[in-house]
A and B are shown apart, each in its own frame.
Chain A
Amino acid sequence: MRNLSSAPRLAVTLLALPGLAGAQPAGPPQGGAPEDFANVEIHTLKTQGHVFMLVGAGGNISVQVGKDGVLMVDAEYPQLSGKILAAIRRISDGPIRYIVNTHYHADHTSGNQNLRKVGSTIAGGNVAGDLGAEASEGASVIAHNNVLGRMSGALGKAAAMPQDAWPTDTYVGDEKKLWFNDEGVEIIHVPSAHTDGDSIVYFRKSDVISTGDLFVTTSYPIIDVAAGGTINGYLDGLQKIVDLIVPVYGQEGGTLVIPGHGRLCDLGDVLNYREMATIIRDRVQDMIKKGMTLEQVKAAKPTFDYDPLYGTTTGFWTTDRFVEAVYQTLLPNKERGDGKK
């Protein structure tokens, strides 16, 4: 119920920031913006506990709601902020307090700038006294420190994203913990996986994990090699997700998993995906051991049996690009020459 007065500001914000569709950097393996945002609908799916899944264009958004307000995981594109806010308002009229970014890609973060502004940071006492209204202006945007590095252009070669979209609250190390809406929220860093700044978000009481692009159901594992992603780090991330899950029986129920792209999942889906990614990693590893070149590896089709599920020759993450990323990040250090493990 608090802070409803901030909602009308969104319209102004959207008007003031038109034409950001083309603002995403060209290089990273991230979802391309849809051609026509007008046709995108935001669908809401209740998962369990306090957590909803919003499906639109770009990365899935997780929304945790309750008496403290709204915590979002990722924010899609700025052109969709109005529709996303409308979807959130159908499940909560509380203030947006936190936006957690799972990584830096624009299809997950470029909506930060609008949605952050309609929210507010929890502040009071001396802080609010010293800073006045600014102390609580805008929601906190939490991410691993490397997300700030990538979005600001301090890390890597990608162009900086608009400053309004940058994280306001970063962490280093293994994880950051929050208590929000009567449950523990663990923001867990997975190194060198999809990128070098990945976080998964675990809602402990709701028993829902939001994975970002460390797990997707729509393509092969997306590995942003230029931003520090590796296949082995990606597999470690999948293992981390598996370790957090407790199923009801067999491989089903219990902990639910919201992937970066695709449908709501549980343990069985993550296991199948981990199986596929491990098997392909092992095949490429074996081919590298035999001295095969990248072209020879591609010609040997190490993904052949999974191509009906995840393979594609079009779009931003083709089968070839995936095989290249696996090959490149499995090559011994000296051959790759980037100093990573």
Chain B
Amino acid sequence: MDQVRQIKIARLPSLILAAALSSGATFAQVNLGGVWQNQLDEDFPDRLAGPELGDYAGLPINAADRLRGETWDASLLTLPEYQCRVHPADYASAFADIRIWEEYDRDTQNLVAIHLHHFAWGTERTIWMDGRPHPPEYALHTAMGFSTGKWEGDILTVTTDHLKEGWFRRNGLARSDRAVVTEHFIRHENGLTWVTVVNDPAYLVEPLYRSRDYVFSVAGQIAPYPCESVEEIIRPKEAIPHHLPGTNSFLKEYQAKHGIPEEAAMGGPETMYPEYRSKLAGAGAGPAK
């Protein structure tokens, strides 16, 4: 026993030296912990004011998803069971401040997980960094999904599945529970860019890319977010507000207000790309503002 202890003690100085040499320099990972303040400049109307009805422009949706949007009635959100529905993991970056904290194994100091608390609805996510597998398909799907992360250089890349049905935009465009989301967290000093790439085999023709920016907040705090359902409208318990196909009279308002051709407002992969503007102009369809 003594011999073992001696060997350990003898090796200690060299371990300390190795640790000192490596600290702060060469690990291909960055610290993301702290409170990050959400910057709303990008896509502002979509995010804080909320999207307008019938605005699907720039989203690579398919025809089935377009019909989900066209028949969606915002009054759905008055149903008590829907009032406190949280923003899903792939949409949560739209809104408010976040706190990130890291969980290390005490003995090995290996990074086990990165946790993320979101002000809106107080949702919390865990991004597992310990190489564990994703659960089987028959396990529970949740709004936050199941996430694993890895470092690609100093970028944290996260893969999330086991998501519940969510949305691409808060005007009825559903994102299915089969979607797999890839995220990149990129820190530049006190800035953080959070890129979300949604692949949805049910409702997207091409992946949907979104980026959101945050600024590190030295004194930032996150407030609680209580939510309690109330009866807003007295109606039969089984009623689900929706528009029958072809009857939603609100869909044209957005096009008229902004002078956007119907074809563009209805979205689809083509409408994501800059060339689409010239195509519309060439067809004499009127200016896209």
Question: A interface vs B, CB < 8 Å?
Answer: 43, 45, 53, 55, 235-236, 239, 242, 249-252, 256, 262-269, 271-272, 274-275, 278-279, 282-283, 286, 304-309
Which of the segments B14-22, B210-218, B236-244 contacts the partner chain?
A: B236-244
Task: Please give, as numbers and ranges, the residues of chain A lying within 8 Å of B140 by CB-CB distance.
Answer: 256, 263-266
Q: How far is the CA of A265 from the CA of B82 in the complex (A)?
A: 16
Inter-subunit contact B81/A282 (CB<8 Å): no
**Chain B residue with minimal CB distance to A265?**
B140
B164 in contact with A269 (CB, 8 Å):
yes
B residues less than 8 Å from A304 (CB atoms) = 63-64, 67
B62 touches A252 (CB 8 A): no
Decide if A251 touches B240 in the complex (CB within 8 Å).
no
Which residues on B sit within 8 Å (CB–CB) of A239? 237-238
Residues of B near A236 (CB, < 8 A) are: 238
Contact A242 B81 (CB under 8 A): yes
Nearest Cβ in chain B — how far from A269, in angstroms?
A: 7
Hey, which chain A residues are within 8 Å of B63, CB to CB? 304
**A15 CB to nearest chain B CB (Å):** 31
Given the complex, which residues of A lie within 8 Å of B165, measured CB to CB?
268-269, 272
A250-B86 contact, Cβ under 8 Å, with A307-B64, A309-B176: yes
Main secondary structure, interface of B, reads loop
* B178 CB, min distance to chain A CBs, angstroms: 8
Among residues of B, the one whose C-beta sits closest to the C-beta of A286 is B244
Q: Which residue of chain A has the shortest Cβ distance to B238 in the bound complex? A: A239
**Additional A-B contact list (12), CB under 8 Å, known A268-B164, A305-B71, A309-B176:** A45-B139, A242-B81, A249-B227, A251-B84, A263-B137, A264-B140, A265-B140, A266-B140, A272-B165, A283-B244, A304-B67, A308-B201
Tell whether, in the assembled complex, residue A43 and residue B136 are in contact, meaning their CB atoms are under 8 Å apart. yes
Bound-state CA distance A327–B131 (Å) is: 50
Number of interface residues of B (CB under 8 A): 38
Residues of B within 8 A of A264 (CB): 138-140
Q: CB of B68 within 8 A of chain A?
A: yes
The answer to whether A263 and B62 touch across the interface, beta carbons within 8 angstroms, is: no
* Residue B24 interfacial (CB < 8 Å): no
Q: Which residue of A lies closest to B174 (CB)?
A: A305
Asked if B245 is at the interface (CB within 8 A of a chain A CB), the reply is yes
Would you call B240 and A250 a contact (CB within 8 A)? no
User: B residues bordering A, Cβ < 8 Å?
Assistant: 62-65, 67-68, 71, 76, 81-82, 84-86, 121-122, 136-143, 164-165, 176-178, 201-203, 227, 237-238, 240, 242, 244-245
Most A CB within 10 A of own CB, among B85, B136, B138, B202: B138
Contact flag A282-B242 (CB < 8 Å), given A45-B138, A268-B164, A309-B176: yes
Given known contacts A275-B240, A278-B238, A283-B244, is B81 in contact with A251 (CB within 8 Å)?
yes
| Chain B residues near A278 (CB-CB < 8 A) | 238, 240, 242
Contact present for A250 and B138 (CB under 8 Å): no
Distance between Cα atoms of A177 and B233 in the complex (Å) = 35
Taking CB atoms, residues of chain B closer than 8 Å to A43 are 136, 138
Residues of A within 8 A of B143 (CB): 250-252, 268
| Nearest-CB residue, chain A, relative to B162 | A263
- Report chain B residues within 8 Å CB of A309: 176, 178, 202
Chain B residues near A272 (CB-CB < 8 A): 164-165, 177
**Distance of A267 Cα from B164 Cα, bound (Å):** 11
Chain B residues contacting A269 (CB-CB under 8 Å) are 141, 164-165, 177
Nearest CB of B to A209, in Å: 14
Interface contact A274-B240, CB-CB below 8 Å: yes
- B176 to chain A: closest residue by CB: A309
Nearest neighbor of B239 in chain A, beta-carbon distance: A278
A-B interface, 3 closest residue pairs, ranked by CB to CB distance from nearest: A305-B67, A308-B202, A278-B240
Q: Which chain B residues lie closer than 8 Å to A268 at the CB level?
A: 85, 143, 164-165
Are A251 and B82 also in contact (CB < 8 A) when A263-B138, A282-B244 are? yes
How many Å from the CB of B76 to the closest CB on chain A?
8
